[in-house]
Amino acid sequence: MTSDLATTPALLNFNGVEIVDTFAEAFPIKGARLIITAVNAKWAETAATVLCGNATSVIACDVEAAIERQIPADQTPDGRPGVSVLVFGFSTDSLAKSLQGRVGQCILTCPTTACFNGIFDCPKEKRIRIGGGIRYFGDTFQKSKKLEDRRFWRIPVMDGEFLCEDYFGTITGVAGGNLLICGTNSATALQAAEAAVDAIRLGTDVALPFPGGLVRSGSKVGSKYPKLKASTNDAYCPTLRGVTESELPKGCQAVYEIVIDGLSFEAVQSAMRRGLHAAAASAGVLRITAGNYGGKLGKHHFHLRDLLNS
């Protein structure tokens, strides 16, 4: 999401690319990490991908979610290939409700999978119940198993048993870190944005909830249609350059946005730094900026000038 601020901040120069001296504005959000395992990496990734479906923006989705990373078998709870998924919601209650539905529909149903908590050192009052919420699918045949202070539910299914941890830890993370990459055309902007996504994914504790990590439909708050919470960010639409107050640099014909959620301020800041450096090193990039609401939406401000040093 980006703003429609009336004045354009000063421009910095980084490797020949204009960097707008502005900041990305982000806000606190509740996050959880799911470790999904399966008989092989294919099925673990399949379950994770389906779980993350329709989870791009809390403006219109119940949660924001994305695959964080692949996990080798020797680092998972059951010694099988795994995938780590980060999921974010406005509250622990809404996160629990959404995850019970998504785990029940997308992981329980997927061949050979199991699901484990990936956030520890979480106070009991901040934990959410997942396995304990979907155990009733077992129709009284489900069984619990406790290992030290962790409880698991074994739910009988047609290829054996689905193992799911009872409680999952949550953390107050950060949602809405962002970069806007302005290119000479769609091909160059897309190539730069893809390079930025690849660089961001080298780290951990962050998720890119939009398709392939990219957003073509950047939004602003509000709309001329009263029922809409958000609408197209006309200031960054090339086809509207002549009929709106455009923020596009001369020669820009395409913009892609990257939205970053993370488990901490530091994780999001580091991800934005990697993404900015990768995009700025790509051909055809004219300007990199970020979206904010004048500091009125969220308490986390990521200033682009602070990202220029390695």
Q: What pLDDT digit, counting tens, does each position of 262-299 carry?
A: 999 999 999 999 999 999 999 999 999 999 988 888 99
- Domain covering 11-26+173-307 in this structure, CATH number: 3.30.70.520
- What is the pLDDT confidence band of residue 226, given thresholds at 50, 70 and 90? very high
| CATH fold group of domain 29-171 | Alpha-Beta Plaits (3.30.70)
Prediction pTM value? 0.94
The average pLDDT across 209-237 equals 95
Same fold, 11-26+173-307 and 29-171: yes
Tell me the pairing of strands 254-262 and 167-168.
unpaired
Look at residue 7 and tell me whether its pLDDT is greater than 80.
no
The predicted pLDDT at position 20 comes to: 98
The predicted pLDDT at position 61 comes to: 96
The separation between CA 70 and the C-alpha centre of its own chain, rounded to angstroms, equals 15
The predicted pLDDT at position 293 comes to: 85
For the stretch 42-101, pLDDT in tens is 999 999 999 999 999 999 999 999 999 999 999 999 999 999 999 999 999 999 999 999
Distance of alpha carbon 294 from alpha carbon 310, whole angstroms: 27
- What is the pLDDT confidence band of residue 27, given thresholds at 50, 70 and 90? very high
Q: Domain map of the chain by residue range?
A: 11-26+173-307, 29-171
Residue of 194, 204, 209 lying closest to 260 (CA atoms): 209
The predicted pLDDT at position 296 comes to: 80
Look at residue 38 and tell me whether its pLDDT is greater than 70.
yes
Q: Which amino acid is at 124?
A: K
The predicted pLDDT at position 118 comes to: 98
Distance of alpha carbon 139 from alpha carbon 153, whole angstroms: 13
